[in-house]
Structure 1
Amino acid sequence: MNSVFVYCEIDGGKIADVSLELMTKARALAHELGVEAEAIALGENLGWVPEVCGKYGIKRVHIADDKRLKHFLTLPYERVLCSVFEHERPQIALFGATSEGRDLSPRVSSALHSGLTADCTSLQIGSYTDAKTRKEYQNLLFQIRPAFGGNIIATIVNPDCRPQMATVREGVMKREEAATPVKCEVVKIDTQSLLKDADFVVEILSRQMEEQAINIKGAPIIVAGGYGVGSREGFEKLFELAHLLGGEVGASRAAVDAGFADHARQVGQTGVTVRPKLYIACGISGQVQHTAGMSESQMIISINNDPDAPINQIADYAVVGDVHEVLNHFIAAYKRNSK
C-alpha cells in the first residue's frame, strides 16, 4: 500500500482534463504520505501517455495497450483495474466523476470490497479516532463532499478497506504540471492472458459524438444569474454584459429549474465547476450547492439586494442593490470607458 493511483480517462487521443487535475492532486497527496503517485491507462496506441504523465509528476504508469480496449467497455476495463489494484494494493484510487468514471469506479469498489465516495469537492490527509473502539488511524484520506442537498459538508473516511476510492468532478481540483517533470516508468499489462471472451459480450458498433453547443468551463469571465434575476428576459442583460466583457453566461440551479437559462449553463454541485478570472454573480443567494462550483474563481463580484446573502461572504466585491439597475450601470460604464 505505497501509492496513490489515478485512472486516466482517454478519448480522442488525449487524457481527459479531469484526469490531469487528479494527477495534480495525486502528486500532492503522495508527497504528503511519502509514497509514489501512479496512473493506469487503457486503450490503443498509448505510447504517448508516459510523457504526459511524467509532466504531471507521475512516477509510474500501468498501461493496457490493446485494440480491443480502444473505446471504453465496462467489463474488460473493470477486470484490468481490479487485477492491477489487487496486485499493487494502492492506498488511494481516484477517478473522474464522468459517465465513464461513475460506471467503472463503483464496479471496481464492489469487486474489491472497498469504500467509494462520489463527487468529492476536497481531498485531504488526516488522522481519525473511532468513537466506539477508540482506535486511532493515521494518514487517512478525508473525502469531503456536500450532503443532504448541500445543507452540510460531510467528511467521509474509510479506515480499514483499501484502496480508499473517490470520484471528483472536472474543474474541482487545480490542474498544474510538476515544477520538474519526472521520467515515468511504464508497466505493461498483459491483456492477452488477463482478458476473457466473456469480457467482450458487449460490442460497440458505432459511436456518435456531438460537440457541446455551450461550454462555459473554459470561459475567463462568467456573468452568472440566479433566481433573483426574475425571468428569462432578465437574463438578456447578463448576455449583453458577458458579450461586452468577452465572457460567457452561467446560471444557478434555481434559475435553470425556473426556465431562465439552459442546463448547460448551470454552475454548481449538479452543474459544472468553473475557475474563471472573474465571476459576476447576479441575483444569486450563494448556497453551498452553487458556491461548490465557483468558489475558486480568481475574483468574485456579487450583485444582490440582500446585504446578508451568503454569496457576499465569499465575494471580493459585493454590490447591494437591484440587479437590473446595477447591471445597467455596469454596461453603461463599460461602454463609456472602452471608447
Structure 2
Amino acid sequence: MMTNTLVWVEHEGGAVKDATLHTVTAAAQIGTVTALVAGQGVDAVAAAAAQIAGVAKVLVADDAAYAHALPENVAPLVVGLMAGYDVFVAPATTTGKNIAPRVAALLDVAQVSEILSVEGPKTFTRPIYAGNAIATVEASDAKLVVTVRATAFDKAGATGGSAAVEAVGGAGDAGLSSFVGSEIAKSERPELTSAKIIVSGGRALKDAETFAATITPLADKLGAAIGASRAAVDAGYVPNDYQVGQTGKIVAPEAYIAVGISGAIQHLAGMKDSKIIVAINKDEDAPIFQVADVGLVADLFEAVPELVGKL
C-alpha cells in the first residue's frame, strides 16, 4: 500500500520558500507527494510547485481567507483534504509550527515534530533535550502529522517535475482571526535560514554599536548573513529575528563563524549541523570549542579586525 503525503507549501511574494524544498525531500521518503498551495492569487506559486522534483500533484486553494496563511483558516482546509491522505507534512518554520499542531488536534492525533530522518513508514528520528539525544519514534495513529527540520534534509530540485495542478476548496474564513498587518525586516543580506555563510555574535560584544562595528565588516567581506546568540538578543544588541538556537532559528550553513559566543547547549542546538564551524573566543574552555572545526583562542576585538584586514 502506497502512502500518500500532503505537503504544505510555504511561499512568499509569489515564490516557493526553500524550507518547502527540504520538506518535499522528507515527504518523498514517506510516500507519494501532493503539494498544497493555499493563498490568494497564487498561480505563480502553483506553477513553481508543479516543477519541484518529486511532486506528483499540486492542490491549489485560492481564496482571500488563505492570503496570509492564518492557521485558523488553513488548518480546517488541510483537515478537509486529509480524507485522501495518510500523512500531512509541514516545514518546522514559524508558519509550519502554527498550522501543524492545529491539524493534529482537529484530527485527534499526536504530532511528530522536527523529524531528522525517515526510518520507516511511521518511524522517524527527532531531537530531544535540545538536540543532546536523538529519539527514534514510531507513530501509532492512522493518520500522521509531521513537521520537518529543514536542515536535516537536502533540497528537492526546484525544476524537473511536471505535476498536474488541481483547484480545491475549503471552508474559507473561520472568523476566528484576521490579518492586521506585518512589519517585515528588510535586509540586503541573505536570509539566515538559507545563507551559505553566517557570522554570529554573542554577549561579549558589549552593546549594539560595538556589535555592528565588529560583526558587520566581517559579514560584508564574506557576503554573509548576521546571527546572534540569545544573550546578545536579550541584551538588545540586535533584533530577535537574528537569534540562532533552540528558541531562535535552526541553521546549517556551509560556514558558521561564532564570535564571542560561549556555546550554551541551546545555541548549539541551532547551528551544530553547519558544515564548518569557526569559533573565536578568549575563553579556551568555552563549550563552543567542542563543536568547532576551527577554534581561535583570542580577544575578538583584536582578532576580528585583523581577519577583516586580511580578507
Q: TM-score range by the shorter chain?
A: 0.7 to 0.9
Is the Cα contact below 8 Å between 2:33 and 2:55 reproduced in 1?
yes
Tell me which amino acid in the other structure corresponds to 1:124: S
User: Is 1:303 matched up with 2:280?
Assistant: yes
153, 159, 179: which one aligns with 2:139 = 159
Corresponding residue pairs, total: 305
Aligned Cα RMSD in Å? 3.2
Structure 2 partner of 1:88: 84
Q: 1:50: Cα distance to partner?
A: 4.8
Q: Describe how 1:141-290 pairs up with structure 2 within 5 A.
A: 141-147=123-129, 150=130, 152-153=132-133, 155=135, 157-168=137-148, 173-177=153-157, 181-189=160-168, 191=169, 195=171, 199-202=173-176, 204=178, 207-214=180-187, 216-217=191-192, 218-232=194-208, 234-235=210-211, 236-290=213-267
Structure 1 partner of 2:27: 26
Three-state SS of the structure 2 residue aligned to 1:271 is coil
101, 108, 111: which one aligns with 2:103 = 108
User: Is 1:314 matched up with 2:309?
Assistant: no
Structure 2 partner of 1:125: 118
TM-score w.r.t. structure 1 length? 0.75
Tell me which amino acid in the other structure corresponds to 2:183: E
Tell me which amino acid in the other structure corresponds to 1:62: L
**Whole-angstrom distance in 2 between the partners of 1:322 and 1:41:** 49
The one-character-per-residue Cα deviations of 1:177-202 (angstroms, maximum 9, x if unpaired) are: 16x7233133443x2xx638xx5435
The one-character-per-residue Cα deviations of 1:234-293 (angstroms, maximum 9, x if unpaired) are: 423223333343434321112222333332321122222334443221122233422333
**Whole-angstrom distance in 2 between the partners of 1:154 and 1:295:** 14
Change (3 A) 1:139 1:255: same
The one-character-per-residue Cα deviations of 1:79-137 (angstroms, maximum 9, x if unpaired) are: 3211211x2241x322234444333222211121111144x2x42223xxxxxxxxxxx
Is the Cα contact below 8 Å between 2:16 and 2:48 reproduced in 1?
no
Three-state SS of the structure 1 residue aligned to 2:270 is coil
Is the Cα contact below 8 Å between 2:60 and 2:166 reproduced in 1?
yes
Q: Percent identity?
A: 30
Change (3 A) 1:43 1:329: closer
Change (3 A) 1:269 1:164: same
Change (3 A) 1:61 1:146: same
Is the Cα contact below 8 Å between 1:117 and 1:156 reproduced in 2?
no
Three-state SS of the structure 2 residue aligned to 1:55 is coil
**Whole-angstrom distance in 2 between the partners of 1:276 and 1:201:** 40
Structure 2: gaps of 5 or more residues: none
**Whole-angstrom distance in 2 between the partners of 1:106 and 1:181:** 32
Tell me which amino acid in the other structure corresponds to 1:104: I
**Whole-angstrom distance in 2 between the partners of 1:163 and 1:248:** 39
**Whole-angstrom distance in 2 between the partners of 1:172 and 1:212:** 26
Three-state SS of the structure 2 residue aligned to 1:292 is helix
Give the greater-gyration-radius structure (CA): 1
Structure 1: gaps of 5 or more residues: 127-137, 335-339
Give the ranges of 4+ consecutive aligned residues of structure 1 lying more than 6 Å apart after TM superposition. none
Q: 1:219: Cα distance to partner?
A: 4.4
TM-score w.r.t. structure 2 length? 0.81
Is the Cα contact below 8 Å between 2:104 and 2:145 reproduced in 1?
yes
Q: 1:25: Cα distance to partner?
A: 2.5
53, 57, 76: which one aligns with 1:56 = 53
